[in-house]
Chain A
Amino acid sequence: MTGQLERLGVIAGLTYRSNFVGGRLWISALFAALPPVLLGAFLAYGVTGSALITDWGAIVITLVLSVQIPLVTLIIGVGLFRNEIEDDTLPYLTLRTIARPSIVIGKYLGGLAAALTFLIPSFVVALGVTVAGADGASFPSGYVTAGLAILLFGTVAYLGVYLLMGLVTRSAFVLGLVYAFLWEFVLQNFPGHLPQVTVYYYLRTLGASLTTAGPVGSYATTVGVAGAVGAPLGVAVVALLIASLVVNSVETAPDRSDS
């Protein structure tokens, strides 16, 4: 007999594989392809050298952080529980002798691995295109590390939020879009401390703490690096804690007509 940790791994594996079937695969792959394709287009139009490196930074902020990460994690995160609830397959998991919080963690880890499977290659290929067109120009100090940190911490935070949304509401996808493009996008443009209630703020702070160059490094912030790292992680942890509490008490009721 195996322990809870191994069962958690089984859930993670099951979840990871489930994200590579059907429409979700193609939509996630489409979003993953955007940055490399866009940089390839810049290169084809003759943008090279340090200008291309600057454009890579701009794409990290305007496309990867603002569109690609929220949408890929939305597609994957919302489906982690919502699909099982709507297909009525969740009882196959909750009936087993695995602790319910382990199901939450396993699903999150499987979803995180799936999201990064789309996002990391996209990041690496986009970087490769930029390096190929840089004509020997070098990346500013911390530029790539900052982009990668934004990618990783953004994925960790947004996926947790969307997992929770998928668990608690049928309208998770719409709510997720509202969160990504109204809450995160609109509030970041408000003056004062209001942007600090967005994950975006801390991810931009994280980028600015690792480099001062280009679009990645230029961000006015009042938060230190600890806050920039802690906030996205904290969002994910809180989301998972709430999700664990919800799953512990969740009921998988039959259709009313079948009851």
Chain B
Amino acid sequence: MSASVVSATGATKRYGEVLGLNGFTAEFGPGITGLVGPNGAGKSTFFRVLAGQLHLDAGTVTVLGRPVSAPVRTNREVGYCPESPTLYEWMSAEEFLRTLLRLDGFDATEARRRCEDALVTVDLLPVKDRRLSGFSRGMRQRVKIAQALAHEPSLLLLDEPLNALDPVSRVRLLDLFAKIAREGRHIILSSHVLYEVERLTDQIVMVSNGRAIAQGDLHQIRDLIDSRPLTVEVTTGAPRDLGRAFAGWDHVTDVSFPAPDKVLAQTRAPDVFYRSLGELARSGAIEVRGVRGLDDNLEAVFRLLAG
């Protein structure tokens, strides 16, 4: 087992009466980890804590083995890509990156070299002299990633980097993240676009209401649902008969009819449910046209665990 890149224990952050983080406890390992949760779950708050921009009210957080209470030291090894799309609009991409690199202590020559490398990585070198005010959302996202990358940190914090991007930009960024990870950097990526996180990594931490509600391998998290109610949508020509049959099964806890040809059943025992439904369909007593497990994707897992 590799050492944690980021470790949080009971991390709590209040904004007045509102809890941004509520005893958040999680371990983030090497490579890419997805921080998944709905808007307002506490993802950005956690990132800002990691980046030394917010102070915890309680609990501890370590980044690369060091407490985040020493942000200037930590910042050398952390690259942070905030969610906000605003940049210094009057600057060019090159000026923006070079300025930030100078603030990290690199001399003019080294700043220029690192700036060019970062722009090449995010594929923005051809437009390096264009004003940022004219950049699209996707280009802005890549500039933000470049500034997070340029000082070659060990850990990248990417806050909703796929938010509001067109599909082509999303694919390009996902490829970029995979490339960065292959170069040996660790990435923590937040998103509520769950299927895209799923495309990038199996390692996830799920957050809701400021708490980590599940973490680990996505498949392990999916296993958690085996012992919990699962919702299955069945398409049939005889919804009343099928509903009556479901009502007679002990493991079915709820039956509803969302459409004239559909029945929703919630079961505590998915394996038994599918076996029984198969037998019912094979017997020819009730026509079954289709079966769909509504919870059989990451979004449903999240909804289930967030309960």
Contacts and interface: CB of A to CB of B under 8 A. Distances in A.
B87 interface: yes
Contact of B86 (A14, A88, A96): A88
B45 A254 contact: yes
Contacts, number: 104
Q: Is the interface of B mostly helix, strand, loop or mixed?
A: loop
Residue among A18, A21, A95, A249 having the largest count of chain B Cβ atoms under 10 Å: A95
B85 to A, nearest CB: 9
Nearest to A88: B84
Residue from the set B52, B55, B105 with the largest chain A CB neighbour count within 10 Å: B105
Interface residues of B, number: 39
* Size bracket of the A interface: 20 to 34
Interface in A85-137: 87-89, 91-99
Contacts of B75: 95-97
Q: Point out which of A7, A18, A97 has the most chain B C-beta atoms below 10 A from its C-beta.
A: A97
A26 to B, nearest CB: 14
B39 A257 contact: yes
A18 B80 contact: no
Interface string A223-259: 0000000000000000000000000010111111111
A89 B88 contact: yes
A252 B48 CA distance: 8
Contact of A259 (B15, B105, B147): B15
Interface string A57-97: 00000000000000000000000000000011101111111
A247 to B, nearest CB: 12
B88 A259 contact: no
B223 interface: no
Nearest to B105: A1
Interface stretch (B2-10, B96-104, B296-304): B96-104
Contacts of B53: 91, 94-95, 251-253
Interface of A: 1-3, 6-7, 10-11, 14, 17-18, 21-22, 87-89, 91-99, 249, 251-259
27 contacts: A1-B107, A7-B102, A7-B103, A7-B105, A89-B87, A91-B80, A92-B100, A93-B103, A95-B51, A95-B75, A96-B103, A97-B105, A98-B103, A99-B72, A249-B55, A251-B54, A251-B55, A253-B20, A253-B45, A253-B54, A254-B82, A254-B84, A256-B15, A256-B18, A257-B39, A257-B40, A258-B83
Interface of B: 15, 18, 20, 39-40, 42-45, 48, 51-55, 72, 75-76, 78, 80, 82-84, 86-90, 99-100, 102-107, 147, 159-160
Given A11-B103, A94-B52, A254-B83, 20 more contacts: A7-B102, A10-B102, A14-B88, A89-B84, A92-B88, A92-B100, A95-B53, A96-B75, A97-B75, A97-B76, A251-B48, A251-B53, A251-B55, A253-B53, A254-B44, A254-B82, A257-B39, A258-B39, A258-B44, A259-B15
